[in-house]
């Protein structure tokens, strides 16, 4: 394992750019994950590993040793403490990070269960919101998350951190709202879209069949195409002075009402 301690080293420069440049992550279709636990999740979910970086000066966890055994054929480097800490969010986090290749998130590859239960999120701008939604989708064991008309990169570091690794365990597809609607209708999946006006209480709809719950960004409502194409427009009644909830909270309330019905409770 080659030891690297200089910021002028081309390997360090390449990885530092990946850590700090969204365009570079998109261009190379690769991203960084930190810590043995997340790396283990990526390995279990068949992500392609490109490089592994450890810091033997820190050695804050034994987990990295098992990871290196699994990834023994991947190029690995030992960075000095200063270089390693310049790449990570949480200082001294497991002493290991990995560069992995992003997957293709096509609707054509989105696998449906016999009675699909899907979350659709349109034009979400904050990576942290996507991460929080992924945690909810994973917790409810839904078929997956479809991001309609995406506005931010999926593998943003904030998405990975806020998802607690569920970005790697959850089935994800991305496409335009129009194509997502066509996909849902083609597969006979009911569309329940969250709108404040001209909508009914979210508890008054039937979640027992194939259902997609659709939510939009916090700053505005869903685009009108969803109002026109939905089977039901639903809302969460607000009893206070505020007229909206945090996006992930809103999604979780509706999702678990549906899960309650689907589980026969």
Q: For position 148, what pLDDT does the model report?
A: 97
Looking at the structure, do residues 143 and 243 belong to the same domain, yes or no? yes
N-to-C CA span, the chain: 55
HSE, side-chain direction, 13 A CA sphere, residue 50: 14
pLDDT of residue 46: 94
Q: Is 92 a residue whose pLDDT tops 60?
A: no
Q: Is the pLDDT of residue 219 over 60?
A: no
Same domain, 71 and 115: no
CB 211 within 8 A of CB 171: no
Q: Report which of 200, 205, 218, 240 is spatially closest to residue 151, judged by C-alpha positions.
A: 218
Q: Which token pair is 137?
A: 């989708």
Q: What is the pLDDT of residue 62?
A: 63
Are 20 and 97 in a shared domain?
A: yes
**If residue 128 lies in a helix (H) or strand (E), which one and from where to where?**
helix 127-139
**Which of 101, 128, 160 marks a domain boundary?**
101
CATH of the domain at 54: 3.30.1330.30
Same domain, 67 and 111: no
| Same domain flag for 76 and 173 | no
Average pLDDT, the chain: 91
- CATH number, domain of 165, equals 3.40.1280.10
* Same domain? 113 vs 7: no
Boundary of a domain, candidates 101, 136, 155: 101
Given 45, 66, 101, which residue is the final one in a domain? 101
Are 21 and 141 in the same domain? no
User: Residue 172's closest CA among 138, 148, 147?
Assistant: 147
Pair 152, 162: CB distance under 8 Å: no
The model's pTM:
0.91
Tell whether 199 and 178 lie within a shared domain.
yes
Looking at the fold, whether 152 and 195 belong to one and the same domain comes out as yes
Asked if the model's pLDDT at residue 115 lies above 70, the reply is yes
DSSP state, 209?
S
Q: Looking at the 3D structure of the chain, how many domains does it have?
A: 2
Return the pLDDT at 140: 96
Are 128 and 234 in the same domain?
yes
Range of the domain at 189: 107-262
Please check whether residues 202 and 124 belong to one and the same domain.
Answer: yes
Same domain, 91 and 217: no
């Amino acid at each position: 394992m080659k030891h690297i301690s200089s910021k002028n080293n081309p390997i360090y420069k390449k990885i530092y750019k990946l850590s700090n440049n969204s365009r570079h992550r998109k261009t190379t279709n690769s991203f960084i994950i930190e810590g043995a636990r997340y790396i283990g999740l990526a390995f279990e979910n068949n992500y392609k590993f490109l490089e592994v970086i450890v810091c033997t000066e820190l050695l804050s966890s034994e987990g990295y040793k098992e990871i290196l055994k699994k990834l023994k054929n991947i190029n690995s480097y030992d960075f000095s403490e200063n270089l390693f800490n310049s790449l990570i969010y949480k200082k001294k986090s497991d002493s290991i990070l990995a560069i992995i290749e992003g997957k293709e998130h096509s609707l054509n590859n989105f696998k449906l269960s016999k009675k699909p239960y899907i979350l659709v999120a349109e034009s979400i701008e904050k990576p942290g919101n996507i991460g929080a939604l992924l945690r909810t989708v994973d917790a409810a064991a839904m078929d997956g998350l479809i991001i309609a008309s995406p506005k931010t990169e999926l593998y943003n570091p904030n998405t990975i951190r806020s998802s607690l690794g569920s970005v790697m365990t959850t089935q994800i597809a991305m496409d335009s709202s129009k194509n997502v609607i066509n996909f849902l209708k083609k597969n006979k999946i009911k569309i329940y879209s969250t709108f404040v006006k001209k909508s009914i209480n979210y508890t008054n709809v039937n979640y027992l069949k194939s259902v997609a719950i659709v939510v939009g960004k916090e700053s505005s409502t869903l685009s009108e195409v969803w109002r026109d194409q939905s089977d039901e427009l639903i809302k969460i009644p607000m009893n206070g002075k505020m007229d909206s909830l945090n996006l992930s909270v809103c999604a979780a309330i509706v999702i678990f009402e549906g899960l309650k019905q689907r589980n026969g409770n």
